[in-house]
Amino acid sequence: MKSRQAVFKTREARTTYLAEHYRPYLKGRILDVGCDQAVLKELIQDIDYFGIDVGGTPDLILDLETIQRLPFADDHFHCVVCSDVLEHLDNLHAMFVELVRVARSHLIISMPNCWNAARRPLSRGRGHFLHYGLPVQRPGDRHKWFFSTSEAEAFLRSQAQHIGLDIVDLHTTEKPRSSLIRNLRRLRYPNQARYLNRYAHTLWALLQKKA
């Protein structure tokens, strides 16, 4: 699996990467799941855009954890985008099936590598890291799942085989580093899965429904 260098300091930066990398597939009627401020709509204006989220500025406010079925017909959207959302849902597996149901052609999914985010805070004894732990005040949202890149890949491959999807693209992104540092890391962790679990921060997948 290929790994690309990129860094997403904001949600807008992640959406920009998605729009640039998957531009040929973002056409027609698009469903943006977890759209937040609907940045994708601004980046690509020649699409029939519809965004859903529990907050932000969506076309429809929708809490995915409180529903069993998305309020759309089968194959309603040409492409469904779901970027770093599934890890926030207790009903991750059921909602993934729903995303497939409402997509006619393609799905663009991204999932974080939680191991990467936790590695340094845990090794340095900081006692907490983003999206997990026990904050003093109840958070508005948090991750419900803690998984590695290997687990996210296994999940997507299993779902694709079970539901009937082709994997068109599967790659990771990691923070930009010099060639020297990357090569030294590869020498220390020659096993691809171990390397990605340690250094990749996001797994990206482009899935296509079988005819």
Give the CATH number for residue 186: 3.40.50.150
Q: What's the total number of domains in the chain?
A: 1
- Indicate the pLDDT class of residue 66, thresholds 50, 70 and 90: very high
pLDDT at 104: 97
pLDDT at 139: 85
- Output 49-58 pairs: Cβ under 8 A, ≥24 positions apart: 50/77, 54/141, 55/140
Three-state DSSP class for 184? Answer: helix
Position 9 pLDDT exceeds 80: yes
pLDDT at 136: 87
Position 127 pLDDT exceeds 80: no
- Indicate the pLDDT class of residue 121, thresholds 50, 70 and 90: confident
- Do residues 108 and 79 make contact, with C-beta atoms less than 8 angstroms apart? yes
Over residues 44-70, the mean pLDDT reads 96
pLDDT at 123: 80
Tens digits of residue pLDDT in 68-116: 999 999 999 999 999 999 999 999 999 999 999 999 999 999 999 999 9
pLDDT at 12: 96
pLDDT at 140: 80
Instruction: Quote the Cα angle for 113-115-119, to 5°.
Output: 135
Position 53 pLDDT exceeds 80: yes
Cβ neighbours around 15 below 10 Å, total: 26
* Residue range of the domain that includes 166: 2-209
Tens digits of residue pLDDT in 154-211: 999 999 999 999 999 999 999 999 999 999 999 999 999 999 999 999 999 999 998 7
Over residues 119-136, the mean pLDDT reads 81
Contacts of 69 by beta carbon, 8 Å cutoff, 6+ apart: 98
